[in-house]
């Protein structure tokens, strides 16, 4: 689905969502209230200006009060890999965006990510993966790092990594692997109205991060939940 099709499905009665320089912002009617919308469109890389602007939109929702949910739509490249952005502290800007999404969710504004195109690396982590619940549409292609990039970092042959990816979903890119690992909670049905599907995800997903449990139950991450639980027990002195 294109962004225009997604917005029409979400808001059949109209909306106030705009795209400028690849950044999505605005709102539309949702149930008895409003759904705030931010995101990245057109496979746009996320740089410091974009991360700061999106964070500003999230903070505006928080300052307004209430319980307005926030939908993060994502069709991005990775973070903008320019010398300028790196020297200006791109990692801190991306972290700021992720933290304000966590702040909003903790403050009563449920956050939902929806990947409908490509997304990777820091842009993926700071947007979609920073939401309480992450959904995707068929054809989406999320990845933390593609295998050619992993090969360059690890110095392992690409063919070796491709073979490993067949049995290790947490290591492999692509929608099916992200679902199995628990990173993506659900794949939505584009043939049905999206608003009820988003509302159902919000209603059925309690606050907190349950991706480790999903990954365990789906067979994609067998140890993450147990390791995290042990860390929490030992940190608490139990």
- Domains of the chain in start order, with CATH, are 3-137+188-206 (3.90.226.10)
Query: pTM here?
Result: 0.89
Task: State the chain's mean pLDDT as an integer.
Answer: 90
Q: Which residue has the higher pLDDT, 223 or 74?
A: 74
Place of tokens 């991005």: 76
Q: What is the mean pLDDT of residues 42-62?
A: 95
Q: Provide the strand spans (E) within the chain.
A: 16-20, 23-30, 33-46, 70-79, 111-115, 118-120, 133-136, 141-143, 186-187
Q: Is the pLDDT of residue 227 over 80?
A: yes
CA distance 24 to 183: 23
φ, ψ at 76 (rounded to 5°): -125, 165
Closest CA to 19 of 2, 52, 41: 41
Burial of 206: CB neighbours in 10 Å, binned 0-12, 13-18, 19+: exposed
Q: What percent of the chain is modeled with pLDDT above 70?
A: 99
pLDDT tens sequence across 80-107: 888 898 888 899 999 999 999 999 999 9
Instruction: Give residue 21's region: left, alpha or beta (phi > 0; psi -120 to 50).
Output: left
The CB density around residue 232, as the number of other CB atoms within 10 Å, is 10
Q: Is the pLDDT of residue 51 over 90?
A: yes
Q: Can you say how many angstroms the Cα of residue 203 is from the centroid of all Cα atoms in its chain? A: 18
pLDDT tens sequence across 115-155: 999 988 889 999 999 999 999 999 998 887 778 888 888 89
pLDDT at 154: 87
Contact between 45 and 78 (Cβ < 8 Å): yes
pLDDT tens sequence across 59-74: 999 999 999 999 999 9
pLDDT at 173: 76
Q: What is the mean pLDDT of residues 19-32?
A: 94
Instruction: Give residue 18's region: left, alpha or beta (phi > 0; psi -120 to 50).
Output: beta
pLDDT at 175: 86
Q: Can you say how many angstroms the Cα of residue 24 is from the centroid of all Cα atoms in its chain? A: 14
pLDDT at 238: 67
Q: What is the mean pLDDT of residues 35-46?
A: 95
CA distance 31 to 45: 32
pLDDT at 225: 82
Token readout for 203 is 């209603």
Closest CA to 199 of 182, 186, 183: 186
- Under the banding of pLDDT at 50, 70 and 90, the label for residue 36 is very high
CA distance 156 to 172: 14
């Amino acid at each position: 689905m294109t962004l225009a099709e997604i917005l029409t499905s979400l808001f059949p009665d109209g909306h106030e969502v705009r795209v400028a320089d690849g950044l999505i912002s605005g709102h539309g009617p949702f149930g008895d209230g409003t759904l705030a919308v931010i995101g990245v469109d057109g496979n746009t890389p996320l740089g410091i200006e974009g991360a700061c602007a999106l964070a500003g939109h999230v903070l505006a929702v928080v300052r307004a009060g209430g319980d307005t949910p926030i939908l993060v739509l994502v069709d991005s490249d990775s973070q903008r890999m320019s010398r300028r952005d790196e020297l200006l502290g791109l990692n801190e800007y991306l972290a700021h965006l992720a933290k304000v999404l966590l702040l909003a969710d903790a403050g009563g504004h449920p956050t939902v990510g929806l990947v409908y195109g490509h997304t990777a690396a820091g842009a993926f982590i700071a947007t979609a993966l920073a939401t309480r619940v992450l959904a995707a549409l068929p054809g989406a292609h999320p990845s933390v790092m593609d295998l050619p990039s992993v090969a360059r970092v690890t110095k392992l042959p690409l063919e070796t990594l491709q073979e490993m990816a067949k049995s290790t979903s947490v290591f492999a890119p692509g929608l099916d692997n992200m679902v199995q690992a628990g990173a993506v909670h659900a794949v939505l049905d584009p043939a049905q109205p999206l608003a009820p599907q988003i509302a159902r995800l919000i209603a059925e997903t309690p606050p907190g991060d349950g991706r480790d449990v999903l990954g365990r139950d789906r067979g994609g991450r067998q140890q993450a939940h147990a390791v995290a639980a042990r860390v929490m027990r030992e940190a608490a002195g139990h």
